[in-house]
């Protein structure tokens, strides 16, 4: 049976919740669209909303369980394109029992291309693909990893307007806007579009790495989001007991399921910042989706930290 994919992005609701004695407004971007949820829906809206009559294929790369893999597979299905998505090795257990974003993307017809060290030579995956992208045929569209490009600003601009409309309706004069960052694309564009202070934290690499990502999209440092300090240097994708604990606490206190890769660090960092600075400002936390990835992350956490 062919999956029906809707090209419509809903106006995501805002939900008020209590957490650790603070009131937060959760911008539920996880509810935008079944296939294009969260920040990937915002970043890929440009490709969803515009026509590309000469394009027959998309080329992208990243993690085998990336949210972008699933969203791009849905985009390709909707546009009748082929998706070639390059990854650096696929674990044997995942090949044997596909789940999460990998499984969903395969079901949508994605061509997931596994590259081993011998294929890459001295290059890493990023530099290998960027070199390859310089010699693509005219019918192939290259989308950088995670949608890190200036085209992402179109979708983020819609999110910014929704936030401004909500703040006006609720008479929020000077709220803080919080979202955790991978490449920082959504955060840096949001700050350029909003009159409010945008906070973020580095989930991939450290603050210096995130600043470098900002600079590739906007060289005006005065318009960058504030990068909050984390408790320690965390390795992306590694399991931490405090991440699992805050994730469980969030679900119990708010009734909302968050993702297990970005949101635990985002919430820990935000709560530390609010408590340290004794802030009582209104905070809008942007739920960036990624829940399909929990299908693979949650069993790992339960095995390592059984309750």
User: For strand 14-19 and strand 22-28, is the pairing parallel, antiparallel, or unpaired?
Assistant: antiparallel
CA pseudo-torsion sign 14, 19, 24, 26: negative
Q: Is 231 helix (H, G, I), strand (E, B) or coil?
A: coil
Q: Is 173 helix (H, G, I), strand (E, B) or coil?
A: coil
CATH, domain 42-149, list 3.30.360.10, 3.40.50.150, 3.40.50.1100, 3.40.50.720: 3.40.50.1100
The residue written with tokens 């990893």 in the block is: 145
The residue written with tokens 């450290």 in the block is: 206
Q: d(Cα 16, Cα 272) in Å, to the nearest integer? A: 20
What are 129-151's pLDDT values in tens digits? Answer: 888 889 999 999 999 888 889 99
Q: How far is CA 129 from CA 60, 62, 121, 212, in A?
A: 8, 10, 12, 19
Please give the order of strands across the beta sheet that includes 57-61.
Answer: 111-115, 82-88, 57-61, 140-142
Asked if pLDDT for residue 121 goes beyond 70, the answer is: no
Q: What residue spans in the chain does CATH classification 3.40.50.1100 cover?
A: 14-38+151-304, 42-149
What are 75-88's pLDDT values in tens digits? Answer: 999 999 999 999 98
C-beta of residue 290 within 8 angstroms of C-beta of residue 67: yes
Q: How far is CA 15 from CA 87, 168, 288, in A?
A: 36, 16, 14
The separation between CA 76 and the C-alpha centre of its own chain, rounded to angstroms, equals 19
What are 251-284's pLDDT values in tens digits? Answer: 999 999 999 999 999 999 999 999 999 888 899 9
Tokens coding 171: 């008479």
The CATH number given to 14-38+151-304 is 3.40.50.1100
Q: How many other CB atoms are found less than 10 A from the CB of residue 105? A: 28
What are 233-246's pLDDT values in tens digits? Answer: 999 989 999 999 99
């Amino acid at each position: 049976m062919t999956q029906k994919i809707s090209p419509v992005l809903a106006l995501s609701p805002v939900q008020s919740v209590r957490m650790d004695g603070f009131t937060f407004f959760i911008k539920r971007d996880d509810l935008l669209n079944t296939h294009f949820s969260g920040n990937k829906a915002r970043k890929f809206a440009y490709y969803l909303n515009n026509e590309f009559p000469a394009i027959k294929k998309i080329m992208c790369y990243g993690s085998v369980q990336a949210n972008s893999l699933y969203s791009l597979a849905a985009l390709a299905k909707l546009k009748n394109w082929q998706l070639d998505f390059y990854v650096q090795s696929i674990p044997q257990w995942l090949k044997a029992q596909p789940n999460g974003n990998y499984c969903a993307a395969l079901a949508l017809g994605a061509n997931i291309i596994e590259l081993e060290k011998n294929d890459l030579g001295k290059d890493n995956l990023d530099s290998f693909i960027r070199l390859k992208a310089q010699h693509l045929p005219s019918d192939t569209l290259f989308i950088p990893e995670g949608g890190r490009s200036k085209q992402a600003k179109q979708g983020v601009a819609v999110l910014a307007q929704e936030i401004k409309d909500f703040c006006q309706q609720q008479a929020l004069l000077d709220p803080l806007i919080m979202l955790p960052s991978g490449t920082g694309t959504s955060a840096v564009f949001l700050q350029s579009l909003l009159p409010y202070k945008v906070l973020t934290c580095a989930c991939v690499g450290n603050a210096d790495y995130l600043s470098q990502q900002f600079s590739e999209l906007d060289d005006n440092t005065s318009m960058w989001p504030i990068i909050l300090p984390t408790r320690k240097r965390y390795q992306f994708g590694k399991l931490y007991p405090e991440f699992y604990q805050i994730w469980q606490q969030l679900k119990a206190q708010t009734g909302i399921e968050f993702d297990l890769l970005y949101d635990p660090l985002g919430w820990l960092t935000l709560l530390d910042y609010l408590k340290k600075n004794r802030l009582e400002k209104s905070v809008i936390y942007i739920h960036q989706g990624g829940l399909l990835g929990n299908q693979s992350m949650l069993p790992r956490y339960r095995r390592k930290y059984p309750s």
